Amino acid sequence: MRNTDRRLAASTVSSSRPAAVRLGAALLAILAALLIPATPAWAHNSLRAAAPVQESTVPRAPREVVLEFMQRLDPTFTTIVLTDGAKRKMPTGDPVVSGATGTVQVTDALPNGTYTVAYRVVSTDGHPAQGSYPFTVADPTSSAAPISGTGPADAVRAATPDPGRGIGILIAAAALAVTALVAAGLWWRRGAR
Ligand SMILES: [Cu+2]
């Protein structure tokens, strides 16, 4: 009963407010929601840049794979694996970590074909990040027999959802939730006053 009375009172009060105030509050809520995901503290660590670039086609076989992350890496737990289109592991050196960057040297010259870089790292604050991406070597002067890129690598790629896309959806969902919460909070505060 009491709750109902309060809600009735709230709706009476808020309906007497100018529409401009309500619009302003709504715009503020949207603005806050848009600004918050710009630096999500809970995102912790993720891949910031890579060479070869994700999903790129490069004209020369890379001699190394360089992955730059958002946060400093713990060298003990840094794993970077390179596989070819047939899921065979390509020989690489041990990962070398410098700050937020992990590098592996590619031991052999890679024939033309599609490759997958898979990584699992742990930032110095203890949070893991993992993912994978493909790239293609298409060297017009390559004499090595090309490896088909339409095999298992593409199947792996399709089966493994892009972590970046998943985070995008999470951020969108969080923004929506924050908007709703802020709007509800403003509404309630205005009503309770
Ligand atoms: Cu973290």
How far is the centre of ligand 1, averaged over its atoms, from the C-alpha of 126 (Å)? Answer: 6
CA max distance for the chain: 83
User: How do 79-83 and 47-51 pair as beta strands?
Assistant: unpaired
The CATH class, in words, for 41-169 is mainly beta
Domain chopping of the chain, boundaries = 41-169
Ligand 1 centroid distance, CA of 182 (Å): 26
Closest-CA residue to 110 (of 132, 91, 129, 127):
91
Ligand 1 centre distance from Cα of residue 185 (Å): 29
pTM reported for the whole predicted model = 0.55
Determine the Cα–Cα distance for residues 94 and 108; give it in Å rounded to an integer. Answer: 14
**How far, in Å, from the CA of 28 to the mean position of ligand 1?**
29
Alpha-carbon dihedral of residues 96, 101, 106, 112, nearest 10 degrees? 170
Residue (of 26, 4, 3) closest to 179 by Cα position: 26
C-alpha 81 – ligand 1 centre gap (Å): 23
Phi, psi of 165 (to 5 degrees): -65, -40
Nearest to 131, CA basis, from 153, 162, 110, 109: 162
Q: Give the distance from CA 157 to its chain's centroid.
A: 16
How large a percentage of the chain has pLDDT more than 70?
56
Residue type for position 4: T
Q: What is the pLDDT, as a whole number, of residue 185? A: 64
Q: Number of helices (H) and strands (E) in the chain: give both, helices first.
A: 4, 8
Low-confidence ranges of the chain (pLDDT < 50): 1-15, 37-40, 149-161, 193
Question: What residues pack around ion ligand 1 (CB closer than 5 A)?
Answer: 44, 125, 127
